[in-house]
Amino acid sequence: MSFDTSKTMSNPVVTVREGKLRGAVKDLLDGSKYYSFKGIPYAHPPVGKLRFKAPLPLKPWNGVLDAIEHGPVCPQNDLITQEKIDGSENCLFLNVYTKSLKPDSKIPVMVFIHGGGFVSGSGNTDMYGPEFLIQHDVVLVTINYRLEVFGFLCLDIPEVPGNAGLKDQVAALQWVKNNASQFGGDPENITIFGESAGGASVTYHMLSPMSKGLFHKAISQSGACLAGWAHQTNGKERAFKVGKYLGKETNDPYELLDFLQSVPSDKLISIGFHVRTKGERLKEIPLIFTPVVEKFSNSEAFLTENPVDILTAGRFNKVPLMAGYNTAEGLVFVLPELRKLEIKNKFPSHFLPQQLMESISEEKALEFGSRLKQFYFDNEEITEDSMKILSDLLADRYIIYPVHRFVNFYAEHCKSIFMYRFNLSTKLNFLKIMLGFEAEKGASHGDDMFYMFKSSLTDDKFKENEKLVEYVNLITKLWTDFAKYGNPTPDNRWNVKWTSYSKSSKEYFNIDEKLSMGKTGEQDRMEFWDKLYIEAGLPASSKSNL
């Protein structure tokens, strides 16, 4: 038995493979109790000469480790406040929340991978409190992983091939698999879920041989590895730009590595913003250090092939998938774009994803750009008054089309897919309201998080608002039922059955004030992008004859 009964109920002690952990007992919203274990180390601290490298296994400890408070967050720039957060490079910690500590409880486990563009975020409770989800009898795990240059520097050498941040996530999943039963969890029923960069990470794990067997179901929210922002193709070149910016001129990757390992961590936070090219500033959201296709095929490699090639060949971890997007994803991208309208009116090809641009001639890019302006804006000048259409375009480019594309490829080889379209708009849509778009319809990128996690940002919204509690219970029930059964609507609770996705009908579940099933979401817009990709010689989906 891994529960130390010599301690009071307020200090449960659990024995994991590496040693003993002392947690805390907390209150759920209904007055019942749950166990909280925060700041659990899951890998060796990636500091000093281990900076930028894959995580190493954790060494066991003696005595009882306090798991009462969160561990430090990873060095980063907060995407909302634009504050630099020094955190600590010793940041590979996870948090476990459960209602049972009996090893034979076999409770489904949900592991959440936070978003933040691979540059920001943590698994901490200020944003990702567990109370809404674990009321449905699941074990919830939230994790930190290395961000931006710390997690995604690529030097194309065996020591730093890239993807250290994704390998951190793998190490966390291995820890969960090894230790889940000590927290009442079922190591044979683990669901990974994530939003934005976390959603893209989920889809990467589905493709990676490194992650095989570490999870049994996957939920990808508003993110897919096929999005341009979710991968980089010139990682080594960007690494040398960082060296140059910091005063190191060299062509030797080992010399550069030695130098970058000696730079104080605060000098590397947000370094990507300083080494962007003019084209990247104009055309892309500012995410520079992201996942790569690694050059070395070995057991330490996370990804050695282009994701599209893996998907079309069916060489991936075939698990039940739930995937979807918010209807007004693009609202978060609109304000920076308004500052670029002059040049984008003149050259609408700047709206095209880089992977598309790389596959076509300059002349074809201009043609595609003019077709895009015609399709979305009816060839009218794009102005601040075009904000709604601009939001739709940016949503399609960055989130919705990559998600549709991923699901279509996946559906060639796996039938257990549940797609959704999140359209709820209430006082919980924190990001939409914060950006000043409260009057706009739909849900902005990131708004769904506030229906799943208790957050200090929205705690006050629940006062005397029973409807919000109902929505939270609805969303968390759908998500946890998928984690339990591989089916988000196993009973007839809401008088609507969420049917699985097929390539022919493209069924989706509409999450709104009234639940309903629909087919071919954003059909005209998705077909427009499909045509561009096919004309560029890129797979739009495995079998498409548009």
Give the residue numbers annotated as catalytic, written as ranges: 196, 329, 445
Sequence-distant (6+) residues with CB within 8 A of 240 are 250, 251, 256
- For 57, 145, 178, 208, 367, the CA distances from 174, given in Å and listed in that order, are 10, 14, 6, 14, 48
Q: Which of 489, 387, 443 is nearest to 221 (CA)?
A: 443
Give the integer Cα–Cα distance in Å for 162 and 176: 23
The angle formed by the CA atoms of residues 527, 530 and 533, to the nearest 5 degrees, is 155
CA distance 296 to 300: 9
Reduce the DSSP state of residue 290 to 3 states and report it.
coil
Separation of alpha carbons 79 and 287, rounded Å: 11
In whole angstroms, give the CA distance from residue 361 to residue 345: 20
Q: How far is CA 280 from the centre of its chain?
A: 22
**What SS3 class is residue 386?**
helix
Closest alpha carbon to 372 in 529, 534, 535:
529
Sign of CA dihedral 47, 53, 54, 59: negative
How many angstroms separate the CA atoms of 186 and 177, rounded? 8
Residues forming beta bridges with residue 64, ordered by sequence position: 20
- Return the ∠ at Cα 394 (arms to 378 and 223), rounded to 5°: 145
CA distances from 457 to 390, 431, 434, 453 (A): 28, 10, 10, 11
CB neighbour class for 305 (10 Å; exposed up to 12, middle 13-18, buried from 19): middle
CA angle 62/66/69 to nearest 5° reads 150
Q: Which long-range contacts (CB under 8 A, 24 or more apart) does 339-348 make?
A: 340/282, 341/382, 341/383, 341/384, 343/282, 344/382, 345/381, 345/382, 348/372, 348/373, 348/382
